Amino acid sequence: MPVKRSAGILLYRERADGGTEFLLVHPGGPYWSRRDDGAWSIPKGGIEGEEDSRAAALRELDEELGAAAPELDAEALIDLGSVRQRAGKVVDAWGAEGDFDPAALDSNTFAMEWPPRSGREVEFPEVDRADWFDLETARRKLLSAQGEFLDRLLEHLGRPVAG
């Protein structure tokens, strides 16, 4: 069975006090509605066919954030490598400095039968929330495997990885 692969972008911005903030998204749908710590992610999604990981990451950023997503230069993206999540999915990540207003979130949607075995198909947003977090909070909110992307980005920026 082939390994599922996703690609995403870890956006960051510098605060006036010298700190760094990271944009994370919360998955939409009923299974995630009551989960918070350990449930957030970088904006990411599936790599289609032979699609380039970087191109997939840029496409997914637009799909998950909507029209207000920052326009990024593909060549300026910082390669953060890959991690394997607990369920086996491999996620490739890229870092980029950018800004986004979480109030402008306009995510794509997906349909699923809800409630289960009801025969009703309901639309849910792929992402129901987005927000900026400092390092300590981002570590707590992120899916555990994706925390490695924070460390890799901070190392690339020459910043301490300790929260």
**Which domains are delineated in the chain?**
5-157 (3.90.79.10)
Of 1 and 49, which is predicted with more confidence? 49
Distance between CA atoms of 136 and 15, rounded to whole angstroms? 15
Residue 163 has pLDDT above 70, yes or no: no
Q: Give me 35's structure tokens.
A: 């989960």
User: Strand pairing of 90-97 and 78-84?
Assistant: antiparallel
**What is the pLDDT of the chain when averaged over all its residues?**
94
Q: What are phi and psi for residue 139, nearest 5 degrees?
A: -60, -40
Q: Could you tell me the pTM of the whole model?
A: 0.94
pLDDT score, position 162: 67
The pLDDT confidence band at residue 136, using thresholds 50, 70 and 90, is: very high
What percent of the chain stands above pLDDT 70? 98
Q: Give me 127's structure tokens.
A: 């992402």
What percent of the chain stands above pLDDT 90? 89
